[in-house]
Amino acid sequence: MTDFDPVELKRIRWHSRRGLLELDLVLERFLAQRFDSLSPAEMSAYKALLELPDNDFLDVVNAKMDLDDPEVMQIVEILRAI
Amino acid sequence: MGVPVRRFDAVIVGGGGAGLRAALQLSESGLKTAVLSKVFPTRSHTVAAQGGISASLGNVQEDRWEWHMFDTVKGSDWLGDQDAIEFMCRKAPEAVIELEHFGMPFDRLENGKIYQRPFGGHTQHNGQTPVQRACAAADRTGHAMLHTLYQRNVRANTQFFVEWMALDLIRDADGDVVGVTALEMETGEVFILHAKAVLFATGGAGRIYAASTNAFINTGDGLGMCVRAGIPLEDMEFWQFHPTGVAGAGVLITEGVRGEGGILLNSNGERFMERYAPNLKDLAPRDFVSRSMELEVLEGRGCGPNKDHVLLKLDHLGPDIIKQRLPGIREIAIKFAGVDPIKEPIPVIPTCHYMMGGIPTNYRGEVVTPKDGNHESRVNGFFAAGECACASVHGANRLGTNSLLDLVVFGKSAGDSMVEYIKNEMPTWKDLPADAADRSLARIARLDNQKNGEEVTDVRTAMQRTVQSRAGVFRNSANLALGVTEIKEVAERAKVMQIKDKSKVFNTARVEALEMENLIEIAVATMISAEARQESRGAHAHDDFPTRNDEVWMKHTLYYGENRSLTYKPVHTKPLSVDYIPPKERTF
Ligand SMILES: Cc1cc2nc3c(=O)[nH]c(=O)nc-3n(C[C@H](O)[C@H](O)[C@H](O)COP(=O)(O)OP(=O)(O)OC[C@H]3O[C@@H](n4cnc5c(N)ncnc54)[C@H](O)[C@@H]3O)c2cc1C
């Protein structure tokens, strides 16, 4: 995670607070279990996911929708399984 | 003191539906308007609203605002203020059409008009027959509303302060509101936002309960700020519960599951709703099902190791029906309950959904408190709208889809009142008091210096357990009295909460501690208000006082934080233009 300074990591954590409870719950688990061990590339992919509107993000997590970027999809797979 | 000051005509705290609608009125009238939000506005909790927004457009079936008004008054169990209810229901069609003109993508009929769905509690001819009154944008109504209003505000030059957390309300020696203090999360700096008028639109506080459908952001900051600034909270004993939230998670399982034949079971495997509601069984009204579920748990027939929930069984429907007719439910159950409903029942409990009480306002969005014998004296410069406000249109129980309506109608009305106030009464800013930021700075300093204190998560858990077990869907005197004692103990622990991370920049631990200081005020207000109300009305179901008592209790509660005391004020029985709708028994 050398590419991300601690402040950026905290910002990403805050951006994991969403408007939908379902997402809060999934991302809370993700932050507790996986966040600290993400590689820089994975962290960038997670950041990209956080840019999605909440409803799309939930559809992605619930496997109703996939995304094109394979690196982002790797994080999505973690979120789907968590 | 070296706290930087920024000046605006109007400061709006909250970028959900209510805050955005109000901001639009102000910006479009040329006033310099700031909107603060803890998160990006379109991620406000309004995004969660799926069901729709009500308005008597009559596009599908004949409808009238008077019938909408009747349903709302009845839904409120006669605790709603009838002037505010008339105002909202009359304005509803215009408000929805305005959203349509703003570009909100409502579902449409073939003739191009807005489609309207059926929804519980919406009727024609004052309760006679169901009517289709809910307007929706697919299952994304809240999302569509937020995006539409946000874009409009950008065009109108509203200034957004995203990831700014308002900390405290600033009142001067006259008691007038002259601004707020706020924390810029990015830098950890505290600012004073000096304003001619301030509006709170900070949303609900469902996180005081252990079981809540609300996202983590719903910490009721506006209410906490009011309590600290000496402004009372109205009707805090009234919280709406949804019967089927996933136990331990809160995520909603829609009513549709029971509609398709899902049934509720206790630990003996008994379909207990047959006992409580021999006709409607599992499809009895929400509050009735919730209460029956809670009774089963209280009487020891709950399921699981802690005997704290019941089971929603649907495996008998077969995998095809579950997959075809109830899409999404299986995923929710697997993800949040860890069970596959095709094989196993889902653990569910009644779950806190909506806060009917809040900051006392009138239908103009002005915050009003008792003063010199007047029950509703205006707090100059202070306005509130949305779930944090109590106008009061929802009274003791909110009707589905009336909340989104409340946001836009009272958001706009409050915005108009602010424009008027600023233009007619506040040509310039009132002076800031010398100690404007002291309270906020002291709160932060205490957190930074606290040693040997309590962890925020421990205090939060204790609060949520207390409120859930003592002021849940089913209440009684003994339990409520215990709850008051217990929540006061938790409040003492909250005074010594500590955080490990003392850094300034983007310190989310600090933000969560500050939020917790708001939640605990609301939890105390809820317990004390609930303990005092000796009747059953709407969402306040009291075992020792099982009926509504209009003679004594048709009145609004006001809770004051300083000495944790209560006063009461009358319900408005005079609508604006139509006849009073006198109380009746609420039967279905
Ligand atoms: C799952 C679910 C489904 C629902 N469905 C419907 C429905 O179909 N129809 C309906 O009518 N109602 C529905 N409701 C209720 C309705 O969604 C809410 O009551 C409503 O959206 C609240 O809007 P608001 O503008 O008052 O607050 P919110 O949308 O919650 O916005 C609050 C804003 O205040 C900001 N804020 C809070 N504190 C601070 C602070 N200290 N500093 C700065 N900013 C702050 C937040 O960042 C946010 O921008 C539903 C509720 C839930 C939980």
Q: How far apart are CA B235 and CA B356, in angstroms?
A: 7
| Overall average pLDDT of the B303-330 stretch | 89
CA atoms within 13 Å, Cβ hemisphere of B9: 23
Q: How far apart are CA B182 and CA B194, in angstroms?
A: 11
Residues of chain B contacting residue A18, judged by C-beta atoms under 8 Å apart: 39, 43, 215, 217
CB contact under 8 A, A24 and B336: no
| Residue range B513-559, pLDDT digits in tens | 999 999 999 999 999 999 999 999 999 999 999 999 999 999 999 99
Give yes or no for A32 touching B (CB within 8 A): no
Would you tell me which residues 148-177 of chain B have a C-beta closer than 8 angstroms to some C-beta of chain A? 163
| Overall average pLDDT of the B424-431 stretch | 97
Angle at which helices B17-28 and B402-425 cross, to 10°? 30
Q: What are the φ and ψ backbone dihedral angles of B11, each rounded to 5 degrees?
A: -120, 130
| Residue range B298-314, pLDDT digits in tens | 899 999 999 999 999 99
> What is the pLDDT, as a whole number, of residue B255?
76
CB contact under 8 A, A20 and B163: no
pLDDT of B120 strictly over 80: no
Q: Which two tokens stand for residue B561?
A: 């934080």
pLDDT of A5 strictly over 90: no
The vertex-B234 CA angle with B228 and B239, nearest 5°, equals 110
Which burial class, exposed, middle or buried, applies to B456 when counting CB atoms under 10 A from its CB (0-12, 13-18, 19+)?
A: buried
Residues of chain A contacting residue B105, judged by C-beta atoms under 8 Å apart: none
CA distance A67 to chain B (A): 19
| Residue range B164-207, pLDDT digits in tens | 999 999 999 999 999 999 999 999 999 999 999 999 999 999 99
Nearest one of B144, B146, B137 to B106, comparing CA atoms:
B137
CB contact under 8 A, B140 and A18: no
Q: Which two tokens stand for residue B574?
A: 């005079």
Q: Closest partner residue to B506 among A11, A21, A23, by Cβ? A: A11
If you ran DSSP here, which 8-state letter would residue B108 be given?
B
Residues of chain A contacting residue B249, judged by C-beta atoms under 8 Å apart: 21, 25
Q: How far apart are CA B45 and CA B354, in angstroms?
A: 12
Comparison of pLDDT for B51 and B433, the residue scoring more:
B433
| Token pair 């008077």: residue | B66
Which burial class, exposed, middle or buried, applies to B107 when counting CB atoms under 10 A from its CB (0-12, 13-18, 19+)?
A: middle
The vertex-B101 CA angle with B100 and B102, nearest 5°, equals 90
Count of CB pairs separated by less than 8 Å, A with B? 75
CB-based burial, B156-194: b 16+ in 10 Å, e otherwise? bebebbebbbbbbbbbbeebbbbbbbbbbbeeeebbbbb
| A54 CA to centre of ligand 1 in angstroms | 14
> What is the pLDDT, as a whole number, of residue B450?
96
Instruction: Give the helix/strand (H/E) hosting B510.
Output: helix B508-532
| Whether residue B377 has a cis bond before it, omega within 30° of 0 | no
| B137 CA to centre of ligand 1 in angstroms | 17
Give yes or no for B218 touching A (CB within 8 A): no
Q: How far apart are CA B273 and CA B270, in angstroms?
A: 9
Instruction: Give the helix/strand (H/E) hosting B245.
Output: strand B239-246
Nearest-CA residue of chain B relative to A21? B215
Give yes or no for B334 touching A (CB within 8 A): no
Which residue puts its alpha carbon closest to atom 20 of ligand 1? B46
CB contact under 8 A, A53 and B511: no
> What is the pLDDT, as a whole number, of residue B587?
65
Radius of gyration (C-alpha) of chain A in whole angstroms: 12
| Overall average pLDDT of the A28-41 stretch | 94
Residues of chain A contacting residue B216, judged by C-beta atoms under 8 Å apart: 17, 21, 24, 28
Q: How far apart are CA B243 and CA B352, in angstroms?
A: 9
pLDDT of A1 strictly over 70: no
Q: Which residues does residue B164 pair with via DSSP β-bridges, in sequence order?
A: B184
| Residue range B25-50, pLDDT digits in tens | 999 999 999 999 999 999 999 999 98
pLDDT of B588 strictly over 60: no
CB contact under 8 A, A21 and B43: no
Shortest-distance atom of ligand 1 to CA B182: 42
Per the annotation, the verdict on B564 as an active-site residue is no
Q: What are the φ and ψ backbone dihedral angles of B397, each rounded to 5 degrees?
A: -165, 125
Q: Which pLDDT band, with edges at 50, 70 and 90, does B321 fall under?
A: confident
> What is the pLDDT, as a whole number, of residue B1?
53
> What is the pLDDT, as a whole number, of residue B342?
94
% of chain B beyond a pLDDT of 90: 87
> What is the pLDDT, as a whole number, of residue A2?
52
Sign (positive or negative) of CA dihedral B462, B467, B470, B472: negative
Q: Do B209 and B247 touch, CB atoms closer than 8 A?
A: no
Q: Which of B29-33, B489-493, B501-505 has the lowest mean pLDDT?
A: B501-505
Nearest-CA residue of chain A relative to B213? A21
Q: Which pLDDT band, with edges at 50, 70 and 90, does A58 fall under?
A: very high
| Residue range B394-407, pLDDT digits in tens | 999 998 899 999 99
CB contact under 8 A, A19 and B250: no
Q: What are the φ and ψ backbone dihedral angles of A76, each rounded to 5 degrees?
A: -60, -40
pTM: 0.95
The DSSP string of B529-582 is HHHH--S-BTTB-BTTS-S--HHHH-EEEEEETTTTEEEEEE-----SSS----
Which residue puts its alpha carbon closest to atom 1 of ligand 1? B48
Q: What is residue B399's three-state secondary structure?
A: coil
Please identify which of the residues B286, B378, B443, B548 carries the catalytic annotation: B286
